[in-house]
Amino acid sequence: MTTALTGIGVTRGLVIGRAHIFHSIQPEVVEYAIPQQYIEDEVARYELALSKAKTQLDTVKDHIPVSAPSEISAFIDTHLLMLEDSALSRVPIDYIREHQCNAEWALKYQRDALVTVFEEMDDSYLRTRRDDVDHVVNRVQRLLSDPEAQGLSNSEISLAGRVVIAEDVTPADTILFKSQGVAGFVSEHGGVNSHTAILARSLGIPAVVGVHRLRRYIYHNETVALDSEHGMVLADCDEALLRHIESRQQIALRQQARLNALKDYSAVTLDGVNIELLANVETEEDIDLMHAVGSDGIGLYRTEMVFMLGNGVPTEETQYQAYRRIVERANGKPVTIRTLDLGADKQVDGVGRGGAIATNPALGLRAIRLCLQDPSLFYPQLRAIFRASVYGKLRIMLPMLTNVEELHQAVQIIGDVKRDLRQANVPFDDDIPIGGMIEVPAAALNADAFAHHLDFLSIGTNDLIQYTLAADRLDEDVNHLYKPAHPAVLKLIDMTIRAGLKAKVPVAMCGEMAGDARYVRLLLGMGLREFSMNPRACLDVRRIVVNSSVSELSALMHSVHRAGTSNEIEELLDRINHDI
Ligand code: PEP
Ligand code: MG
């Protein structure tokens, strides 16, 4: 009998593939005593695990695709060297002999000692080595706990064509899945606007998150169907159901072909209002897509990807090369580069972990807060952006502004960067517009003040919704509270649009709401004229724009403003959207 599980669909897509259970949890290590006569056997067991770990890494190295970033090979070399270092090849063995304990415990002891040393280092790059220690130690621990298993980490198993089943998926895992050609993924945790979900949409990977007890019902290697539009995972499908799914796949392909025909249309409403459709870009590949769907430029380039794809914090030069490539590939279209928004669910080895573990990371040292606190992150990034500015039309956007003082501080650092570049005769564009994201309720409430100091505003609804409604965007348990059409959210959006109009400062929206077909007409009616979205959503949004009349929609907005509940607004949306 078919098993149907439901969760939160984060992308559109219908795929069939064999399940691959993705393990990200490490075995728990306990200490036990080894009788004297077996100590050398225990040492041999440890040495065998080490040598298997080396063999695995050599195999992985031989199979790195040519298209993979060069850092991956360097990363594996580092791990190989660590396995050979006496810190791992000799010290745990001494510990086993001295304390007559199991190899896992000796390795854990040594790992803790190494990590303490790395954590005490001031240099953020050296601090990243702590995570390398963990990766290598975890590999050996896996082999010790299960010597028969391949012991391969997730990055080394071919996932091509597979539907990955996981407890949780990080943004970095999502990138790995793309490079491995997965058919889709399903996870027990996660929210619709987590960065993992956003990345999955941007990379076009069908995904369903928040499926409770998923791993109880799906078995490794069984055939599953994933309907990410409806948030469904089906296992044990009979032939008739599989054929039905295949026919729906064909229909979806035909619909996409019809949408493709809209690529060269201008996004002008029925009553002649020009709407700018921009792209949110995560990777360089997104730029090809942006050109393919005829976007007007890049409304949000998330620079975190440059940090997350590499091994720790990239140098100014690496960043410069990355930003320059983006700007050049945009072919003269405007590129809005958002400064670093690390923190919360976007972590990079060695960044921001100096203090106590945050209880509420989304409310913690994130985005502009982190950059202002750690100029060693912000300054080189700004230099890299300014250096890249001579290759096209660049704009800088600051994330998570809450207080106008933060903006002043950032502007001062930008001034320092420009001064230093000028003194060093490094060419840059002196007139780069500086904009800010409105994604914290305080910023929306104070949008007038921000509009006064900025060249443009961009509403980040992904965060604005979570902060306004106190509903963590990552937490599937409060996903039902995460509502773009909540009257409080709409009031803040409205205030921001009005503030922009008053100050004659353009206002865009770059949160996922801007690319959600359901809200396009509502936002047009509210006065939004710049929509930035995952380029995969662009054609559908254009279809709605060219079939809408702004004057008719504006006339309906008094009902939106009067609504006291999300349900009332949703009903109104059903009516507004009846023909799309
Ligand atoms: C947002 O918060 O809406 C946004 C675009 O930023 P991010 O999703 O990267 O937090
Ligand atoms: Mg945000």
Task: Determine the pLDDT at residue 150.
Answer: 46
Confidence of residue 494 (pLDDT cuts 50, 70, 90): very high
Residue 29 covered by a domain:
no
Residue 191 covered by a domain:
yes
Confidence of residue 352 (pLDDT cuts 50, 70, 90): low
Do 16 and 183 form a contact (C-beta atoms < 8 A)? yes
Do 416 and 379 form a contact (C-beta atoms < 8 A)? yes
Cα 436 to ligand 2 centroid, rounded to whole Å: 11
Which of 124-128, 237-241, 442-446 is most confident?
442-446
Report angle CA 523, 524, 529 to the nearest 5 degrees.
100
CATH of the domain at 446: 3.20.20.60
Last residue of a domain, one of 227, 257, 287: 257
Task: Determine the pLDDT at residue 573.
Answer: 97
Residue 31 covered by a domain:
no
| 463 Cβ inside 6 Å of ligand 1 | yes
Cα 539 to ligand 2 centroid, rounded to whole Å: 24
Task: Determine the pLDDT at residue 287.
Answer: 92
Domains: count for the chain: 3
Residue 284 covered by a domain:
yes
- From the CA of 512, give the closest atom in ligand 1: 3
| 511 Cβ inside 6 Å of ligand 1 | yes
Residues 131 and 235 reside in one and the same domain? no
| 461 Cβ inside 6 Å of ligand 1 | yes
Task: Determine the pLDDT at residue 129.
Answer: 65
Residues 529 and 560 reside in one and the same domain? yes
In this structure, of 21-35, 91-105, 411-425, 488-502, the range with the lowest mean pLDDT score is 21-35
Residues 134 and 247 reside in one and the same domain? no
Quick check: helix, strand or coil at residue 190? coil
The closest residue, in CA terms, to atom 7 on ligand 1 is: 462
| 437, 464, 533, best to mutate for ligand 1 pocket (most atoms within 8 Å of CB) | 437
Cα 400 to ligand 2 centroid, rounded to whole Å: 7
Could you tell me the two tokens for 12?
């559109």
| 439, 474, 492, 516, best to mutate for ligand 1 pocket (most atoms within 8 Å of CB) | 439
Sign of CA dihedral 293, 298, 304, 309: positive
- From the CA of 367, give the closest atom in ligand 1: 10
Is 70 exceeded by the pLDDT of residue 349? no
Residues 344 and 322 reside in one and the same domain? yes
What integer is the mean pLDDT of 58-80? 65
Residues 366 and 424 reside in one and the same domain? yes
Residues 250 and 316 reside in one and the same domain? no
At 301, which helix (H) or strand (E)?
strand 298-302
| 192, 281, 341, best to mutate for ligand 1 pocket (most atoms within 8 Å of CB) | 341
Cα 528 to ligand 1 centroid, rounded to whole Å: 17
Residue 419 covered by a domain:
yes
Residue type at 161 in one-letter notation: G
Residues 210 and 303 reside in one and the same domain? no
CATH of the domain at 216: 3.50.30.10
Length of the chain: 580
Domain interval for residue 219: 3-24+156-257
Which of 25-29, 30-34, 131-135, 336-340 is most confident?
336-340
Confidence of residue 350 (pLDDT cuts 50, 70, 90): low
Task: Determine the pLDDT at residue 202.
Answer: 81
Is 50 exceeded by the pLDDT of residue 169? yes
| 198 Cβ inside 6 Å of ligand 1 | yes
DSSP per residue, 446-475: THHHHHHH-SEEEE-HHHHHHHHHT--TT-
Cα 498 to ligand 2 centroid, rounded to whole Å: 21
CA-wise closest residue to 484 among 558, 547, 415, 569:
569
Catalytic site residue from 20, 79, 189, 195: 195
- From the CA of 464, give the closest atom in ligand 1: 2
More confident residue, 69 or 433: 433
Cα 510 to ligand 2 centroid, rounded to whole Å: 9
| % of the chain beyond a pLDDT of 90 | 59
- From the CA of 341, give the closest atom in ligand 1: 9
Cα 461 to ligand 2 centroid, rounded to whole Å: 7
pLDDT tens string 289-330: 899 999 999 999 999 988 877 667 899 999 999 999 999 999
| 196 Cβ inside 6 Å of ligand 1 | no
| 341 Cβ inside 6 Å of ligand 1 | yes
| 406 Cβ inside 6 Å of ligand 1 | no
Place of tokens 């493709």: 260
| 302 Cβ inside 6 Å of ligand 1 | yes
Kindly calculate the radius of gyration of the chain based on its CA atoms and give it in whole angstroms.
Answer: 26
Cα 193 to ligand 1 centroid, rounded to whole Å: 8
Catalytic site residue from 101, 237, 510, 538: 510
Is 50 exceeded by the pLDDT of residue 152? no
What integer is the mean pLDDT of 64-77? 59
Residues 348 and 406 reside in one and the same domain? yes
Last residue of a domain, one of 116, 136, 153: 153
Do 461 and 482 form a contact (C-beta atoms < 8 A)? no
> Residue 268 carries which DSSP code?
B
Residues 37 and 539: their CA atoms lie apart, in Å, by 71
Last residue of a domain, one of 242, 257, 272: 257
Is 80 exceeded by the pLDDT of residue 116? yes
CA-wise closest residue to 380 among 301, 322, 432:
322
| 515 Cβ inside 6 Å of ligand 1 | no
Which segments within 85-181 are labelled E, that is strand? 162-166
Residue 125 covered by a domain:
yes
Cα 460 to ligand 1 centroid, rounded to whole Å: 5
- From the CA of 439, give the closest atom in ligand 1: 2
The closest residue, in CA terms, to atom 6 on ligand 1 is: 460
Residue 458 covered by a domain:
yes
In this structure, of 98-102, 189-193, 533-537, the range with the lowest mean pLDDT score is 189-193
Residues 493 and 528 reside in one and the same domain? yes
Residue 235 covered by a domain:
yes
Residues 467 and 534 reside in one and the same domain? yes
Q: Which ligand is nearest to the CA of 459?
A: 1
Confidence of residue 569 (pLDDT cuts 50, 70, 90): very high
More confident residue, 88 or 148: 88
| 510, 513, 531, best to mutate for ligand 1 pocket (most atoms within 8 Å of CB) | 510
Residues 291 and 408 reside in one and the same domain? yes
CATH of the domain at 80: 1.10.274.10
Residues 261 and 275: their CA atoms lie apart, in Å, by 18
Residues 226 and 354 reside in one and the same domain? no
Q: Is 135 a known active-site residue?
A: no
pLDDT tens string 200-257: 888 889 999 999 888 888 888 899 999 988 899 999 888 888 888 888 888 888 888 8
Residues 340 and 303: their CA atoms lie apart, in Å, by 6
| 462 Cβ inside 6 Å of ligand 1 | yes
Q: Is 101 a known active-site residue?
A: no
- From the CA of 399, give the closest atom in ligand 1: 6
Q: How far is CA 455 from CA 20, 44, 378, in A?
A: 48, 66, 20
